[in-house]
Structure 1
Amino acid sequence: MIVYKDGAWQGLEETSIPVMDHGFLYGVGLFETFRTYQGSPFLFQDHLKRLREGLASVYIEWEEDDDSLLQMIGTALEKNNLTDGVLRLNVTAGISNWGLPNETYTRPSTLLFTRPVAPVQDEGRRAIFLQIPRNTPEGSVRLKSHHYLNNLLGKRELGNLADTEGIFLTREGYVSEGIVSNIFWVKNSTLYTPSISTGILNGVTRQYVIHLARLLGVKVEEGTFTKDELLHSEEVFVTNSTQEMVRINQVDEVEFPKAGWHSLFERLRELYKESTYRQLQSYQQAKRVDIQNGKDKLISE
Structure 2
Amino acid sequence: MFVYMNGSVLPVEQAKLSVFDHGYMYGLGIFETFRIYDGHPFLLDDHFRRLKEGLLQLGIQWSMEKEAVYTVLEQLLKENKLHDAYVRWNVSAGVEDLGLYTGIYEKPTTVVYMKSLPSSMAQHKKAQILDIRRNTPEGSFRLKSHHYLNNVLAKREIGDNVNVEGIFLSQDGYVAEGIVSNVFWVKGGTVYTPSLETGILNGVTRQFILKLLQKEGISYVEGLFNQQALLEADEAFVTNSIQEVLSLTSCNHIEFPTNNPITTWLQKQYAHARKLLISKDEL
Normalising to structure 2: TM-score of the pair? 0.95
Runs of 4+ aligned structure 1 residues displaced above 2 Å come to 277-280
1:14 corresponds to which residue?
A: 14
1:226 corresponds to which residue?
A: 226
Task: Determine the C-alpha separation between the residues in 2 that align with 1:37 and 1:63.
Answer: 24
Quick one: percent identity of the two aligned structures?
Answer: 44
1:177 corresponds to which residue?
A: 177
Structure 1: stretches of 5+ with no match in the other structure: 281-301
Task: Determine the C-alpha separation between the residues in 1 that align with 2:275 and 2:74.
Answer: 18
- Note the C-alpha offset of 1:13: 2.6
> Is the contact made by 2:40 and 2:276 (CA closer than 8 Å) also made in structure 1?
no
C-alpha spacing 1:228/1:111, structure 2 compared with 1 (3 Å): same
Counting matched residue pairs gives 277
1:264 corresponds to which residue?
A: 262
- Note the C-alpha offset of 1:200: 0.2
1:153-164 to 2 correspondences below 5 Å: 153-164=153-164
- Note the C-alpha offset of 1:58: 0.7
Counterpart secondary structure, 1:83: coil
> Is the contact made by 2:38 and 2:275 (CA closer than 8 Å) also made in structure 1?
no
Equivalent position amino acid for 2:207 in 1: Q
1:278 corresponds to which residue?
A: 276
> Is the contact made by 2:189 and 2:219 (CA closer than 8 Å) also made in structure 1?
yes
- Note the C-alpha offset of 1:215: 1.1
> Is the contact made by 2:42 and 2:275 (CA closer than 8 Å) also made in structure 1?
no
1:39 corresponds to which residue?
A: 39
Task: Determine the C-alpha separation between the residues in 2 that align with 1:214 and 1:279.
Answer: 17
* CA deviation map 1:222-267 (0-9, x unaligned): 001000000001001000000110111011111113215xx10111
- Note the C-alpha offset of 1:27: 0.4
Equivalent position amino acid for 2:210 in 1: I
1:74 corresponds to which residue?
A: 74
Q: Which has the larger radius of gyration?
A: 1
- Note the C-alpha offset of 1:279: 3.0
Task: Determine the C-alpha separation between the residues in 1 that align with 2:170 and 2:130.
Answer: 10
- Note the C-alpha offset of 1:53: 0.9
> Is the contact made by 2:40 and 2:275 (CA closer than 8 Å) also made in structure 1?
no
Counterpart secondary structure, 1:113: strand
2:121 corresponds to which residue?
A: 120
Counterpart secondary structure, 1:23: helix
- Note the C-alpha offset of 1:127: 0.9
- Note the C-alpha offset of 1:121: 1.9
- Note the C-alpha offset of 1:103: 0.9
Deviating more after overlay: 9-18 vs 216-225: 9-18
2:94 corresponds to which residue?
A: 94
1:293 corresponds to which residue?
A: none
Task: Determine the C-alpha separation between the residues in 2 that align with 1:18 and 1:96.
Answer: 10
Counterpart secondary structure, 2:166: strand
- Note the C-alpha offset of 1:16: 2.2
The question of 1:29 aligning with 2:29 is answered yes
Equivalent position amino acid for 2:61 in 1: E
2:48 corresponds to which residue?
A: 48
Equivalent position amino acid for 1:113 in 2: Y
Task: Determine the C-alpha separation between the residues in 2 that align with 1:247 and 1:133.
Answer: 23
Task: Determine the C-alpha separation between the residues in 2 that align with 1:212 and 1:153.
Answer: 33
The question of 1:243 aligning with 2:219 is answered no
Equivalent position amino acid for 1:36 in 2: I
Equivalent position amino acid for 1:47 in 2: H
Higher RCO structure, 1 or 2 (CA under 8 Å, sep 6+): 2
Counterpart secondary structure, 2:277: helix
Deviating more after overlay: 185-194 vs 64-73: 64-73
Equivalent position amino acid for 1:185 in 2: W
- Note the C-alpha offset of 1:7: 1.2
1:121-136 to 2 correspondences below 5 Å: 121-122=122-123, 124-136=124-136
Counterpart secondary structure, 1:82: coil
- Note the C-alpha offset of 1:277: 3.8
Structure 2: stretches of 5+ with no match in the other structure: 279-283
